[in-house]
Amino acid sequence: MSTARLIQGNEACARGALAAGCTFYGGYPITPSSEIAEYMVRELPKVHGVFVQMEDEISSLAAVIGASLGGSKAMTATSGPGFSLMQEHIGFATMAEVPCVIVDVMRGGPSTGLPTSPSQGDVMQARWGTHGDHPAIVLAPSSVGEVFDLTLRAFNLSERFRTPVILIYDEIIGHTRENVVLPDVVEVEDRKRPDVAPADFWPKAAPADGVPPLPAFGDGYRFHVTGLSHDERGLPSDDAGVAGSLLARLHDKVEQHIDEISQVETRLLDDADIAVFAYGIVGRSAREAVTRGREEGIRVGLVRPVTLWPFPYDQVAAVARGVDTVIVSEMNRGQLIGEVERATAGRARVVPHLRADGQPISPNELLSTIRTAAGRGA
């Protein structure tokens, strides 16, 4: 029977990874994500898994990619500076279609910045940090319990779509302790394996869903792994038709399943004049601010994207059709506000509530902005 446990956000991440079947962790310690590595180094040997501390974040993700190709579910965790270093290998894993999970526990930046303070400064890097046209799946929890759930979901999505999945949250969530009921049984997805003989196997010949099966090294299937544009044999090709088809498939396998991938929490929007758009820890403050605003008679609701990328343009557009104002609250200088403006397309006024000084956005601060938007003053 499931029981409540007092656990830290970073511990919840590690527990979610183990529940998903993770058996390899390659990483390098960095505040404020280090507790994930500390938990995994203790627990992985108990499930016959492997923990390797690498010399830096670049090699950490390289080790994760190698372990995944060897058949393991694999992950790493870092913070902003390390996440920057990982970008080249995120692109490689995307092009080579190697499932893996990257956790980014955000802190203030740029550069070394504020190592022990929260931020939401990496959300655009999570989408566009690696070069070229590429799909991205990025999940953003707002509680310790959701960290566990979304870590598990990140592994499932990565295995299902053969792509890196990024879990992104901030220092506050990473170090908060909450009572969480962890499920005794979870739903776990595994990558598709080939159903043909090795002699008949074409590594990148994709079925209707666009996701080719992936054997493990040592299974007897011969296949080439490359970051170059490649054909259905997995061999490099600079043919324009081949390159265009490959990129289209990489995008389509994600974009054609947005309804399954995207998760958005909405509250009290049926009669709302004002909507607050917030995610992660700010989404949590926004939920409280919306509740208090309602108590004051302000018709305000919440839209909280749990899946940041692919961005929920349709859901935000639908919200904008029913309200006069969308308040965008972020712990940065305004990274997703442009995407909200694109989605609203002038249907509603977009008002920023931003903070990028290493301090969280409180419900009281946000309520003041809600009052002003409602014509009530601060």
Residue owning tokens 């208090």: 292
* Alpha carbon distance 278, 304 (integer Å): 5
Residue-wise pLDDT tens digits, 293-332: 999 999 999 999 999 999 999 999 999 999 999 999 999 9
pTM of the predicted protein model: 0.97
Q: Are 343 and 310 in contact (CB under 8 A)?
A: no
Average pLDDT score over the chain = 97
- Band the pLDDT of 227: cuts 50, 70, 90: very high
* Per-residue pLDDT at 243: 97
- Band the pLDDT of 376: cuts 50, 70, 90: confident
Q: CA-CA distances (angstroms) from residue 157 to 132, 177, 190, 210, 226?
A: 22, 26, 9, 14, 22
Residue-wise pLDDT tens digits, 154-185: 999 999 999 999 999 999 999 999 999 999 99
Residue-wise pLDDT tens digits, 324-372: 999 999 999 999 999 999 999 999 999 999 999 999 999 999 999 999 9
Phi and psi torsions of 89, nearest 5°: -75, -25
Check pLDDT > 80 for residue 377.
Answer: no
R_g (Cα) of the chain, nearest Å: 21
* Alpha carbon distance 273, 245 (integer Å): 44
Residue-wise pLDDT tens digits, 99-114: 999 999 999 999 999 9
Check pLDDT > 80 for residue 19.
Answer: yes
CA angle, residues 242, 155, 173, in degrees to nearest 5: 125
* Alpha carbon distance 170, 46 (integer Å): 29
Q: Are 16 and 40 in contact (CB under 8 A)?
A: no
- The domains located in the chain, with CATH, are 4-181 (3.40.50.970), 264-373 (3.40.50.920)
End-to-end CA distance of the chain: 48
- Band the pLDDT of 3: cuts 50, 70, 90: confident
* Alpha carbon distance 123, 138 (integer Å): 9
Residue-wise pLDDT tens digits, 233-243: 999 999 999 99
Check pLDDT > 70 for residue 33.
Answer: yes
- Band the pLDDT of 1: cuts 50, 70, 90: low
